[in-house]
Amino acid sequence: MGRAQLIICLFWAVLLSAQRPPNELFPLTPLGAEQKTIIDSISISPIETLSTTDLSTLAKGYLQDQRYEEALECYDELCDRNPNRIDFQFGRGASAGFLLSGTPSIRSIWYIGHLKSGFEEAVRIQPNSLFTRRALFNIYLGLPRLLGGSDAKADQQIQAIQLLNPLEATVAKVFFAMNNKDQTAFDKQATIAYNDAKNTLEINDSRYEMAMIASQYFDDTERAINLLNEFLSNASAGDQYPPVFARYRLAELTPNNAQELRSIRSEVAELEAFMFTYDPLSAYIRKIKTN
């Protein structure tokens, strides 16, 4: 194996722990006829010559159409023009994140830089954004130190999230403990999250994660089903977990639903393998419960 290939394999292995599943597992939201006409008319001009309004429209259209490389190019230009717009920095980080859900390549290293800097800038601009704080937490926790990962920085994001939503902070602490293989801390934080009746979840991915804690760690099927249904009702293309994961978990929790499970498996080949890889919380819980 050549040096470049070895580097790619190393980065890919590291990224799997924090990366969302391949984009193909998420439902498409195709551009409407009018949207497509607008995007086609704008895209004939070089992005440097476009107005900020037209360039923003083009970037959003590319994101929706899953043309992430072109979206990132547009958001790079938008951030150069106005680095203090949170929607531009968020779009830049999101575009890079979507690109990291594709086939690994040496270019992945470049995407990582855009992912990290985009969300760091978004937090700088709007420090009270719970969603960008949680995204940045995941980045710091998932990346190796040489690429900007840091437990200390991840913990700083937890402290900031604590001031915005204590329950969301506790869910983040669950992941922090899991990442550090601290089963005692994991049990403590999972228990606090499960027993928190005062605060509500705001991040949709947290609903899926709390459903896994409820069903797999505390054997609370009813609560898990409610959370998974809430997740599906609020699902969007930017979620960490695709709707098919939640649908499958719901089918698992519903008695006499073998036909539904077979139907979902036929919909996505090797679904269980995807879930094992891209749902590390479930994999961790099942491992410690077995032991």
Q: Is the pLDDT of residue 176 over 70?
A: yes
CA-to-CA distance for 79 and 14, rounded, in angstroms?
Answer: 28
Q: In terms of CATH architecture, what is 167-291?
A: Alpha Horseshoe (1.25)
Q: Pull the structure tokens for residue 69.
A: 């490389």
Task: With H, G, I as helix, E, B as strand and everything else as coil, classify residue 19.
Answer: coil
Give the residue extent of every domain in the chain.
1-164, 167-291
Domains 1-164 and 167-291 share a fold: yes
Q: Is the pLDDT of residue 6 over 70?
A: no
| Those residues with Cβ within 8 angstroms of residue 2's Cβ, 6 or more apart along the chain or in another chain | none
What is the per-residue pLDDT across 188-229, written as a single tens digit (0 to 9) for each? Answer: 999 999 999 999 999 999 999 999 999 999 999 999 999 999
Q: What is the pLDDT of residue 4?
A: 42
Q: Is the pLDDT of residue 8 over 70?
A: no
Backbone angles phi, psi at 272, to 5 degrees: -60, -35
Q: What is the pLDDT of residue 103?
A: 54
DSSP annotation of 102 reads: S
SS (H, E, C) 224-269: HHHHHHHHHHCCCCCCCCCHHHHHHHHHHHCCCCHHHHHHHHHHCC
Q: What is the pTM of this model?
A: 0.90
In CATH, which of 1.25.40.10, 3.90.1150.10, 3.20.190.10, 3.40.50.720 is domain 1-164? 1.25.40.10
* More confidently predicted of 201 and 18: 201
145 and 52 Cβ atoms separated by less than 8 Å? no
Number of C-beta neighbours around residue 185 at 10 A: 15
Buried b (16+ CB within 10 A) or exposed e, 56-82: bbbbbbbbbbbbbebbbbbbbbbbeee
DSSP annotation of 147 reads: G
What is the per-residue pLDDT across 91-148, written as a single tens digit (0 to 9) for each? Answer: 999 999 998 875 556 667 788 889 999 999 999 999 999 999 999 999 999 888 888 8
What is the per-residue pLDDT across 239-284, written as a single tens digit (0 to 9) for each? Answer: 999 999 999 999 999 888 888 889 999 999 999 999 998 999 999 9
